[in-house]
Structure 1
Amino acid sequence: MINVQLLRDPAFVDQLGRAAQLKRMNFDANQLSAAFEDRRKIVGLVDDARARQKSLSKGFRDADDATRASLQAQLTQISDEVKSLTVQLNAAEERLQELALRAPSIPDAAAPVGVTDEDNEVIRHWGEPRRMDPDMVDHVELARQLGLVEFDRAQKFAGSRSIALTGNGALLTRAVLAMALDLLTVRGFRPVMPPVLVREEAMVGTGYFPLGVEDAYKADREDRYLVGTSEVSLVSLHRDELLSLSDLPIRYAGISSCFRREAGSHGRDTRGLYRVHQFDKVEQVSIIEADDELSAREQLALLDNSETVLKALELPHRVAIACTGEMGQGQRLKYEVETWMPSRGAYSETHSCSSFGDFQSRRSNIKYRTSTGETAFAYTLNNTAVAAPRILIPLLEHHQQSDGSVRIPTALRPYLNGLSTLTAETPSSELVPTYTPA
């Protein structure tokens, strides 16, 4: 959420309107400005009425009976006036809040102006992309041959975009998630397995509502929602808190299942593992001091964590600064990490690294006490560490071998009991250490 007090400045209103255009958002900054002015006028009328009420009350005690009768009539009239104005003020507050929750944050100057991902600014590549040879198959066929995923059986009872990771597919996914979680833990992030069913205020507080409500699953009887990312829960852990400066930075590594309806992607990426309704993710969240330079450094550190995971998995990828048209409502600057997927013949998004400034903390009321004793809203940032099953697309395709097996990257082998090659005949018992009952 923006600081509505800035709406006093017409230049800021213009800047906000421009931000909405750049982000391709249907938002009218002038309408928000008008709502702010309406509330200001009513607040002024309420203050004036209460001042008159206070002034008349002072003279009431020492007045004679005749004067008191007149004063009482005036006080009754003012009291009715205040009640009426209070109703108007509450309505104006609700209107302002409703519009303010839909306002965008202003993109960082480093964000390239553009409309689609074609306008993103690619800043580096890592690794050599592998092209699909005639003897190669895509991840769907490879997963079927190796017995890693049930597509048809899962969709029979769960519907489209549903899968079941089975056997070695489940163990391979667990290994990737565990490796990413361990990396973040070693780098000072606190592991968290947070709630994935949350109240509406958590979704509003992190900026996923009201604009993204159509992508969320709702538990109607509970009036709660399944999160599309553990970012919602990790940020909300500190909702309505006043933190000490010594508490910051707070860095979380959340591991959870995530749920998205994919309402805006009807007919897109329906084959395979790229876009499913339920997935698992290790997410990075940082809560830091309100400092732009510190935020820039923190964002690059989060980005490095994700690239380190991809390098460990030996997956070619590239990093791009997202253009304004590819940014979400609250994002100030976003890096997209796109991993090469041979069957798609393209780099495709696997990570999104975002800085939000105080957008989420204002909505969630997360403050800290500065070194001067004042209070300020914290800054928040987030980035995917790894998300599965999407990461299995490049992992399986890039590392497949001519005999139909899949090579296990060296860094991942300790999480699979040292296994170097995955075949259709590999028993799941070989992917876990020998279990000895106590």
Structure 2
Amino acid sequence: THPEAPIGGEADAREIRVWGRRPEFSFPVKDHVELAAGLDLIDFEAGARVAGSGFYFLKNDAVLLEMALVQFALTKLRGEGFTLFTTPDLARDSVLEGIGFNPRGDETQIYSIANTDLSLVATAEITLGGIQKDQVLEQSVLPLKYAGLSHCFRTEAGAAGRATRGIYRVHQFTKVEMFGYAGPDVQESDALHKEILRIEEEIFQALGIPYRVIDTASGDLGGPAYRKFDIEAWMPGRGEYGEVTSASNCTDYQSRRLNIRCRSQERKGTQYVHTLNGTAISCARAIIAVLENYQQEDGSVVVPEVLRPWVGRDVLTRR
């Protein structure tokens, strides 16, 4: 664990900073489920008929809003020097295990494909990390910065409570993920970690969504992460912050398991690279934040300015 990470469990996480002013409404606040119903944006009943509880159809302007979030994030990441990918939605179990997921256990969050060694990916971290499996990289090309667009599939076993309402915690969603390969030095991976967090913050600042940054406590990190920062966006419908991104420095946890090494002319032999990951945009939760923060008294929703070129409208109203 990073020496600056707070020690303890979930309650011991440290708030690093808060950005933006929470909107003040002069009318009763609706949550994203109520707003989406009024604007005909999400069909939960059809999702349940087709695939079961926890699935949904995005409809009408919500489709354009999701595509706009993806386009905005990818444009930002290309400008930051990332190589862009659309990734497979399936990966070998050995790759999932190397990243730190347990694809076949009782408590797994992973959907496995029967009679194969394949599983649906919970995040493009899995596929982007698998790209360099069993490879030896030249240290001079590091850091490598990858961005992947994928669907994400999660069983969400054991999930309950208010956080499961609507599209906050679902079985399938679209996400743009950042993944980095850094040199075998904590200073190098720390620097890339801070860059990933900066990009995440700039995305939500551009969207005009109030948020706070959390330094995750040691007992809440999970196996792979050496240090993890979360961004929690203000969600007026819940009256509290909700996680929208996370950024982890995994040092050599994943590279040892996936056998990803680097070599340099200055040193004999090879060393394990450091790997990092971070959410650029997790569409379902970003849609919640946009709908709830930009809602108007008549039930319409103002479109954040940076998304308007792709949405094609300034305000979402029922058509």
- The answer to whether TM tops 0.5 is yes
Q: Kindly state the Cα deviation for residue 265 of structure 1 after the two structures are TM-superposed.
A: 1.4
Aligned to 2:289: 394
Q: Does 1:184 align with 2:52?
A: no
Instruction: Work out whether residues 301 and 315 of structure 2, in 8 Å CA contact, stay in contact via their aligned partners in 1.
Output: yes
Cα distance, 1:298 vs. partner?
A: 0.6
Q: Secondary structure at 1:269's aligned position in 2?
A: helix
Could you tell me which amino acid in structure 2 is paired with residue 348 of structure 1?
A: G
- Paired residue for 1:240? 134
Residues 179 and 275 in structure 2, CA contact (< 8 A), matched pair in contact too: yes
Structural mapping, 1:44-193, within 5 Å: 107-116=1-10, 118-130=11-23, 133-193=26-86
Q: Is the 8 A contact 1:125 1:317 kept in 2?
A: yes
- Partner AA of 1:360 in structure 2: Q
Residue of structure 2 in register with 1:288 after alignment: 182
Whether the 8 Å CA contact 1:356–1:381 is kept in 2: the answer is: yes
Give the secondary-structure state (helix, strand or coil) at the position aligned to 1:283.
Answer: strand
Answer whether contact 1:255 1:282 (CA < 8 A) is retained. yes
Taking the aligned partners of 2:305 and 2:246, their CA distance within structure 1 comes to 25
What is the DSSP-based 3-state SS (H/G/I as helix, E as strand, rest coil) of the residue aligned with 1:299?
helix
* Offset at residue 131 of structure 1 (A): 5.0
Q: Is the 8 A contact 1:131 1:342 kept in 2?
A: no
Range 357-366 or range 243-252, more displaced: 243-252
The reply on whether 1:366 has 2:260 as its aligned counterpart is yes
Amino acid at match of 1:234: L
Maintained 8 Å contact 2:29/2:237: no
Counterpart residue number, 1:272:
166
Higher-Rg member (1/2): 1
Residue 326 (1) aligns with residue 207 (2):
no
- Report the alpha carbon displacement of residue 267 of structure 1 after superposing the two structures with TM: 4.9
Q: 1:268 & 1:325 partners in 2: Cα distance?
A: 24
Aligned to 1:405: 300
Encode CA deviations 1:129-188: one digit per residue, 9 max, x unaligned: 235654331110111111111011211221111111011111111101110111001110
Residue 299 of structure 1: how far off its partner (Å)? 0.5
TM (norm. structure 1) is 0.70
- Which structure 1 residue ranges, 4+ long, deviate > 3 Å from structure 2? 131-135, 210-213
Indicate if the aligned counterparts of 1:241 and 1:366 stay in contact, CA closer than 8 A.
Answer: yes
Change (3 A) 1:146 1:217: same
Offset at 1:270? 2.8
Deviations 1:67-111 (A, max 9, x none): xxxxxxxxxxxxxxxxxxxxxxxxxxxxxxxxxxxxxxxx11111
Give the direction of change, closer, same or farther, for the CA distance of 1:267–1:254 in structure 2 (3 Å limit).
Answer: same
Q: Given that residues 132 and 342 in structure 1 are in contact (C-alpha distance below 8 angstroms), is that contact kept between their aligned partners in structure 2?
A: no
Counterpart-to-counterpart distance in 1, 2:160 and 2:35: 25
**1:156 partner letter:** R
Could you report, residue by residue, the CA deviation over 1:330-379 in whole angstroms, capped at 9, with x for unpaired residues?
11000011000001111111111100110000000000102324200000
SS of the residue 1:264 aligns to: coil
Aligned pairs (5 A) from 1:189-338? 189-209=82-102, 214-267=108-161, 269-338=163-232
Residue identity matched to 1:302: I
The number of residues matched between the two structures is 317
Distance 2:28 2:162 in 1: 27
Map 1:417-428; keep pairs closer than 5 Å.
Answer: 417=312, 419-425=313-319
**Partner amino acid for 2:63?**
A
TM-score (norm 2): 0.96
1:354–1:383 CA contact under 8 A, matched in 2: yes
Structure 1 regions of 5+ residues with no counterpart? 1-106, 426-438
Task: Provide the rounded CA distance (Å) in 2 between the counterparts of 1:266 and 1:360.
Answer: 30
1:378 paired to 2:273: yes
Instruction: Say which structure, 1 or 2, has more relative contact order (CA 8 Å, 6+ apart).
Output: 2
Q: CA deviation at 1:291?
A: 1.0
CA distance in 1, matches of 2:184, 2:41: 45
Q: Which amino acid aligns with 1:170?
A: V
Superposition map of 1:27-46 within 5 A: none
Backbone CA RMSD of aligned residues: 1.5
Partners of 2:107 and 2:157 within 8 A in 1:
no
- In structure 2, list runs of 5 or more residues that go unmatched: none
Matched residues in 2 for 1:176 and 1:409: separation? 10
